[in-house]
Structure 1
Amino acid sequence: MSWTTERVDLLKKLWSEGLSASQIATELGGVTRNAVIGKVHRLGLSGRAKTATAPAKPRRTRPATSAPARPAASAAPRTIGATALKAEPTPVAAVATQPAPVAELVIPQEQRATILQLNERTCKWPIGDPSTDDFYFCGRNSDPGVPYCAHHCRIAYQPMNDRRRDKRARG
C-alpha cells in the first residue's frame, strides 16, 4: 500500500473530522491503525475535532469544604544526590499519615560504582547528574531479587496503601 495524494487528502479530512486512527484505517482499507498514526505524525497534523459520539466524562468535584488546605511551598528546593527537586505543597490531611522521610545516605568513595562495575549484587541507584563526571551508582550490596540496597528500596518502593492515600490527598 502506498500513500497516494488522494489517500493522504482523505486521511487529513477524516483526521480533522475527529475520527480515530482505527476508524480511518478501516475507511482507507489496506492500512493499519499504526500506519495511520505514523502518517499523521509525519504530516505533523495537530489536534482534531472531538467526536459527537464520545462526549467527555464529567469530572467529579468535591465540595469546597472537604478539600484540604494547602500550605505554601518552601522556597528552598530539596536535593537527592546532586539533583535539586522543586518542593511540592503537601496537603494538611496527608502530613500526619506520611512516613518519615528517609535520610540521605553518604556513600564512601570505595563503594561507589560505575556502570561497568554493576552486577546482580550491587545497588543500581543512580546518584547525581549523568552528564557530569561526578555521577555514580550506589554500589552497596543489594538485597536478593531487587536492584537496590535496603536504604534505596525504602525510597523506590512504596506500599500500595501509601500510594493510594497520596493520590487521594492530591485530589
Structure 2
Amino acid sequence: MTASAWTEDRIERLRTLWLEGRSAAQIARDLGEGLTRSAVLGKVHRMGLSAGRPRPRGPSVVVVSPPRDRRPPPTIVGEAIAGPEPVPDQGRTTLLSVRRCECRWPYGDPGAEGFSLCGRPVARGAFCGPHAAVAYRPVRQSPESLEALAGLH
C-alpha cells in the first residue's frame, strides 16, 4: 500500500489557501510534489470546502461586445426590402464556386452556359437581404383564418 500524498499538514495548508480564495492551480503549485489541480479540486470536494468559499478578490471580468453596425436597418417598402445596395443583374458565383455564407439566388436557366448565383453575403436562410424579401414572404392572416386555425369556427 502506498502512502497518501495528503498528510495532515498538507490538508491544513490546502484548507487555509482555499479559504483565502486561491485557485486550485495556485494551491497545487504551492503544495508541490506532483499534486495536480485536479487532485486539489477532488480533495476540496471530498472535504466539502467548495460551499463555504469566499469570492475571489481579483479584478472582475468585463465582457465587451463588439461595436454594433451603425448603418440604419433596411426599411420595408411595399413587398421588397430597400437596402443600402441594389440587387445586381448578374450573379457573382457559380454552382461550383459558391460558398457556405453566399446567396444562392439563381440567375438564368440552370442548363444554360451563363447560369450563375448571386453570391452576396447571406442575410436570411440561403439568400441575401433583397432576395430573402422575395423568397420568404410573410403569410397574410385575416381574423377569419386565425379563428379557423384556433379551432373557433
Give TM class, smaller chain.
0.3 to 0.5
Structure 2-normalised TM-score? Answer: 0.35
Structure 1-normalised TM-score? Answer: 0.32
Select the structure of larger CA radius of gyration. Answer: 2
